[in-house]
Structure 1
Amino acid sequence: MGSSLAGSSRPLFFCSPFNYYTKSSSFSSSAIHVTSSAVPMPSQHPSFEILGGASHRFLPSLPYLSRPYNPFPFIASNRHFETIFASFFRSLPDVTLRRHCLRTQDGGTVALDWVSGDDKLLPHDSPLLILLPGLTGGSGDSYVRHMLVRARKNGWRVVVFNSRGCGHSPVTTPQFYSASFLGDMREVVSHVTARYPNANVYAVGWSLGANILVRYLGQESDNCPLSGAVSLCNPFNLVVADEDFRKGFNIVYDKALSKSLCKIFKKHASLFEDMGGEYNIPLAANAKSVRDFDDGLTRVSFGFKSVDDYYFNSSSSNSIKNVQTPLLCIQAANDPIAPNRGIPREDIKENPNCLLVVTPKGGHLGWIAGDEAPLGAPWTDPLVMDFIQHLEKTVKSSKTSSDSEKEEALHHVEL
């Protein structure tokens, strides 16, 4: 359910209220070949499980999937080691961001980090990409930065959506964000589409950010203003994810994320001093698990009778069948935080807008494989880029054809 190990002590970035500066390095290496028992489809290598109602629609445009998934030797041999290695040792690209704090209708605040200077450098109709990090994550996370840099190099305008309290975003009301709350997502999409009315807008979400994104797509359905989206490491079924999160080595992640949540909470504890009713502020402030934090604060803030009620009703697995926007879902079969058994395969199969790619390995937010392994970008980044680039070409082509038809019709009317 979380981001990379947000509770780690690794210094991610130096920040001022408006700009971030980071340095990075990377190198590539060869890797071993891994296969699975997945049934091959056109343009698909057998090392992947690929399914979805949109398989034949999108697979021909994703040549990256015709190559085998080659996890990096040793590092990717254990899902926990890969997850932790990616969190602590993946390079952090150097990029300068300019922050805009967006005040929401309920008085809350989210932080939008744009690439500095892009307002002047990019045309106003450049495709726009919204990035949604995982739980407690933000624009300082390495997986976010790598995707941002790749998209920017391809001429995309990029903005990172830092949820309330995340990425040093200020908290201005006694309410954080949650897996259930879509109000901030709607306001962010509305804001960026109004700011760049001639641009096609897309979104990429990781972990809890992916869960929020897919729920948003499902609820907006035919009215969704996004032209496409990508979900990565999505826990999908939060009840199942919670069950696994409290077992074995996963307890380490649970403690790390709950520590990060408590740290954010304590910075803004004064806002919650007078909260009564079912709130359990001491439990939230000293939570030993994400479940404790959600029980003491989150589920009460958003009107759920219990934590299980919150998890069940906030699971994006319930939303897949209503998604009308082109959606690519990328999961790792051995993800310790987003369980393979929680993926809503049947609904994805039946939805003509969805494509699922499951890699044999990858851990959680790891995917240490491909040409840039082990310190460079995740294996997923080129696939994500190919997908949204294909969508952008399709959308532009469709608009051009539509405009031509309108001009021809107008010409006949004038005659």
Structure 2
Amino acid sequence: MSTAPDVWSRVRFLLAQSVCAGLDTLLALCRLAAPRWWRPPTLSAMCTERMRRLFALDQLDGVPYPDPSYGGHVATVLCALRPAPALPYERTRVAGGDGNPMCLDWLRCPQSAADRLLVIIPGLSSSSETNYIRHFVDYACRRGNHCCVFTSRGLGDTPLERPRLMSAYWTEDFRAVATECFGRAALESRFGRPVSVFAVGFSLGGVILSKYIGEESRDGRPLCFSAAFAINSPIDVISANEVMNQLPNSVLYQPSMTSGLIAATRRHQALLPHVPGLKPHVRDCIRAGKVEDIFKIIKTVYDYDTYFTAPANNFEDAIAYYREINPLKWLRYTSVPFLCISAADDPVCGPFPAQEVEAAMQSNPNISVLFTPHGGHIGYVKSLSNEWNAEPLFIEIILCDLITTFVSHT
């Protein structure tokens, strides 16, 4: 079903990881020398009674974290280097909210009894071909789940034929796709049997997912998803922006994230003169063929959102845009179980807004959070031998386990 990554990519990843493993060994020796004060890090859950029952979260509370306790930055950097198998996706195209072709990449589980579909939304500048998405899809299919990856417009190798850039604000694309492709009749036609549908958003994908589900729930529209998950998503986007503009994040992550956005925009620059709302000086540069002058000014995701995302979506500035897409605003409306999984050492998402989320839980029993002590930003690096053998990641195992538990309890 999948093709293993080449040996060189695995060796390159293991070389980088071996340095981290050496440091981790030193830390482990220190722990052995001081057993009285060291305790293995454990999972913790912040959940409502309803979510505790649906996902058996009380059984995860206090469970030791099984993998090396690399720091958040180490796990995050290694995530970008981890090899992933090539997958034989089947691609379909569906008209988005404004008619732009939206690409869905499907991987069908070969098990005849498979009756679950995971709809996956990748993070910022990511697509169905991004390594952490392929790694998860490969494992999820082996666990008996069909998978469908929704790539936001214009990202990866997907087309952009309408003058609207990708953003977490514009949920009409996902809405159009969900209506046409994830309804009961459409899925029975595809798979030949009824299937339960679960939505999984990674990083910014979780922000998009929380806004879409919040909008549908607030407006009383039915949802095709049995439950939703946000993995390493910034629950407070404004706080995450502040953290990302501080050292060392501004050096470690901003260049890569920003260059991904610029690369996607550059690929579709023929449409830029027609994108509405851009500031006059930006539009003048674009029309004069000097869009690279704008790209040179953009050093951060915030800069990109200031020049492109916010004005193109009729926001005065990037902060107003962040305020509108913030999961803190939308989670409280969710009418389906929505579980956030966050790593305590995630350097990208910023401090978890526990007080605000707990307040939302008081009025809505469908919200809960599972905290892992380590993992970084979608890293969850395993031991050297486990990584070499391409063992599934902790986050992949726990997510599939949670879905299985949910199905057994409903």
Q: How many residues align?
A: 360
The answer to whether the 8 Å contact 1:218/1:319 transfers is yes
Q: 2:358 aligns with which of 333, 336, 346?
A: 346
* Whole-angstrom CA distance in 2 between matches of 1:72 and 1:247: 27
Secondary structure class of the residue paired with 2:398 = helix
Q: 2:5 aligns with which of 11, 15, 23?
A: 23
Q: 1:318 aligns with which of 329, 341, 346?
A: 329
* Whole-angstrom CA distance in 2 between matches of 1:276 and 1:94: 38
What amino acid does structure 2 have at the position aligned with 1:333?
A
Q: Say if 1:159 and 1:24 are closer, same or farther in 2 by CA, change over 3 A.
A: farther
The residue number in structure 1 matching 2:47 is: 52
The residue number in structure 2 matching 1:382 is: 397
Q: Say if 1:388 and 1:62 are closer, same or farther in 2 by CA, change over 3 A.
A: farther
| Larger deviation, residues 59-68 vs 160-169 | 59-68
* Whole-angstrom CA distance in 2 between matches of 1:193 and 1:239: 32
The residue number in structure 2 matching 1:254 is: 254
Q: Does 1:272 align with 2:272?
A: yes
Extract unaligned runs of 5+ from structure 2.
32-39, 189-193
Secondary structure class of the residue paired with 1:273 = helix
Secondary structure class of the residue paired with 1:100 = strand
Q: Does 1:113 align with 2:105?
A: yes
Q: How much has 1:142 moved relative to structure 2?
A: 2.3
The residue number in structure 2 matching 1:298 is: 309
The answer to whether the 8 Å contact 1:125/1:200 transfers is no
* Whole-angstrom CA distance in 1 between matches of 2:294 and 2:99: 22
The answer to whether the 8 Å contact 1:114/1:160 transfers is yes
The residue number in structure 2 matching 1:10 is: none
Give TM-score scaled by structure 1 length: 0.78
Q: 1:334 aligns with which of 345, 354, 368?
A: 345
Q: 2:140 aligns with which of 139, 148, 151?
A: 151
Q: Say if 1:46 and 1:83 are closer, same or farther in 2 by CA, change over 3 A.
A: closer
The residue number in structure 1 matching 2:407 is: 392
What amino acid does structure 1 have at the position aligned with 2:126?
G
User: 1:303-331 CA distances to partner (integer Å, 9 max, x unpaired)?
Assistant: 11111100111101111211121122110
The answer to whether the 8 Å contact 2:43/2:63 transfers is no
Identity of aligned residues (%): 26
Q: How much has 1:381 moved relative to structure 2?
A: 1.0
* CA RMSD across the alignment: 3.1
The residue number in structure 2 matching 1:401 is: none
| Larger deviation, residues 299-308 vs 270-279 | 270-279
**Structure 1 segment 96-107 matched on structure 2, within 5 A:** 96-107=88-99
Q: Say if 1:153 and 1:167 are closer, same or farther in 2 by CA, change over 3 A.
A: same
* Whole-angstrom CA distance in 2 between matches of 1:142 and 1:255: 19
Give TM-score scaled by structure 2 length: 0.79
Q: How much has 1:108 moved relative to structure 2?
A: 1.5
The answer to whether the 8 Å contact 2:340/2:368 transfers is yes
Q: Say if 1:144 and 1:278 are closer, same or farther in 2 by CA, change over 3 A.
A: closer
Extract unaligned runs of 5+ from structure 1.
1-18, 35-44, 396-415
Q: Does 1:168 align with 2:160?
A: no
* Whole-angstrom CA distance in 2 between matches of 1:61 and 1:277: 45
Q: Does 1:200 align with 2:193?
A: no
What amino acid does structure 1 have at the position aligned with 2:5?
K
The residue number in structure 2 matching 1:405 is: none
User: 1:256-299 CA distances to partner (integer Å, 9 max, x unpaired)?
Assistant: 11111111111110111245653325475442211121111111
Q: 1:212 aligns with which of 204, 208, 211?
A: 208
Secondary structure class of the residue paired with 2:64 = coil
**Structure 1 segment 221-236 matched on structure 2, within 5 A:** 221=217, 223-236=222-235
Q: Does 1:84 align with 2:99?
A: no
User: 1:178-224 CA distances to partner (integer Å, 9 max, x unpaired)?
Assistant: 12121111122112224204322111111000111112222222522
**Structure 1 segment 115-134 matched on structure 2, within 5 A:** 115=107, 118=108, 121=110, 126-134=115-123
